[in-house]
Amino acid sequence: MMDTGERSRYFQELTLNLRHEGLSVKPETKEGVLPVELDGRPLCRVAETGDVRYWKRDVLGDDRDKAKDRVVDIAKITAGYMRQMEAAPFLKDSGLTGDYRLLADFNGVVMAGHPTEYGVQFVTWEWIRERTGVYQGDYYGPGGGVESYIAAKQDFAVRSRLVLSSALFTTEQLTEVYRSISEALESVYPMTDERRKCLKSTAEQIETTVPDLAERVVLSIEKDIKSAEMLFPQDSGTQFI
């Protein structure tokens, strides 16, 4: 169980992250939960543990069900790094001022969390001067939602060489892979059940990895249409499915 201060800090951070996604958040209730609304209607409630509670009637419809799933992801991620922040030691650096918590340290690279009124800022640095100083900081947030934390973790993994950069895909690459998979699944060409199942699971995984995937797909399609209109102006109005 969180104490009053920990719960307050978690709900404050969660509120910022949910509002970043366009959701409305009401003040904490007497029961100690955070009500979340979509389009002026109750959607769900988040407990201090990060668990999400909801009535089935409030999440009827694809848009509301997806919004609820997004709240679940955000609540879980936020709860995870806020627990880390509460338990982490202060980052000791001779030239660093302010409240920076040491979240990870490996192979000469550190990842720190810095609480601000606009949300937690995450930074990755490299140790210098026999671990008495840090330099070459990469900053994420505050105000970028849980994506700031995810990006900082990825940056730390690459900088510390826990993961090779060549093994990671950018959001642009994932968007195009998703489009290609969708086109393959919608084609009339024969496909084994095994391959279809594999492609579907890959598409679902990308959907959970890229929060604004739908918008990115639309933008990608629009770019293709504009490119086609430039190459074949006589066929302007070409439709891509």
What domains, with CATH codes, occur in the chain?
Answer: 4-86 (3.30.310), 89-164 (no CATH), 171-235 (no CATH)
Interior angle at CA 146, CA 131 and CA 60, nearest 5: 160
pLDDT in tens, 34-59: 999 999 999 999 999 999 999 999 99
> b/e per residue, 103-123, with b = 16+ CB within 10 A?
bbbeeebbbbbbbeeebbbbb
pLDDT in tens, 202-218: 999 998 888 788 889 99
d(CA 199, CA 201): 5
d(CA 237, CA 27): 49
pTM confidence score? 0.76
**Strand partners for 173:** none
Strands of the 34-38 sheet, one edge to the other: 24-25, 34-38, 41-46, 52-53
How many whole angstroms from its chain centre is CA 159?
20
* pLDDT grade for 241, boundaries at 50, 70 and 90: low
Q: Share the mean pLDDT of the chain.
A: 91
d(CA 116, CA 231): 50
d(CA 64, CA 43): 7
CB distance 123 to 137 below 8 Å: yes
